[in-house]
Each structure stands twice: as C-alpha cells, then as structure tokens.
Structure 1
Amino acid sequence: MNDGNTDEAFRAAHTIKGMCQNMAFTRLYASSHDITEVLRGKDLEGARQMIEKVGEDYNTVIAGIEKLLAQP
C-alpha cells in the first residue's frame, strides 16, 4: 500500500482473506474481508486506517500457531 497500488494491495488482501476462510481464522478473515472491500473501492486511505487491525489479528493467529507448535 505504501506505493499507492490499490490493485496489488487488493490482491494481497483477497489472498489473505481466502486463506483465512479456508483455515477458519475467523478474526483475521473478518478484518481481511473488511480491508478487501475497502480496497475494492480503491479507497487507499480507508485501507490504511484498517491495516493496524489486520496486523493485530495476524499476530494473534501467528501466536496461536506458535503455541501449538511448542506443545510436545
């Protein structure tokens, strides 16, 4: 998004959304769905306002995966 390319940002968000739906990462799916729809409308500023939430949800998923991998 830093280069202003909404098409590329849309594709990335859409890919993340699909992966999250397939893996039942519901919070990250919801936030990636929301940012995908904003980017579909080419609203880069709106997407920038949402990216922190997507990042938080992503970090939550990663922390959960790491916790599972650490189990014996």
Structure 2
Amino acid sequence: MRLKEYFSDHQIMQRSDFQGITGMVRSTAMIHIRRLRQEGKPQNIGIPSQPIYVPAPGFYGKSRDYQPVK
C-alpha cells in the first residue's frame, strides 16, 4: 500500500526513496527491492549500478496498458 501511494505522486523511485517510505536500513531495503523485482512488480529503467525503479504494468495503481518511459 505504501508503494501504491508513493507511485500515485511520483513517477520514479530510487533505493533511498524506498528506505524513506519503509524506514528500512540500506541492506534490508535492497533485499526487499530484489524480492519485489523477482516478482516483476517494479522495473529498473536505469543501469544496474544506478537503478531507477518504475511500477510494472498492473502494479501499484498502474493499468496493465501502462508503459514506463525509458
């Protein structure tokens, strides 16, 4: 629910944003982001060393027709 609310006001998310939303430390935040990425919920439109996450179509309030801008 926190990510759905976050993405209703923001187009992108970085790890530091995720930490702010959840209150997790860096290592725990990365574990959860990896899990969510494996589930196909956020997509990385950045590069591996500088990820920028956007919601995948059908998640966090985005329609299945939603296509993130790369």
Query: Which band: TM-score by shorter chain?
Result: 0.3 to 0.5
TM-score by length of 2: 0.34
TM-score by length of 1: 0.33
When you count helix as a share of all residues, which structure comes out higher? 1
Q: Which has the larger radius of gyration?
A: 1
When you count strand as a share of all residues, which structure comes out higher? 2
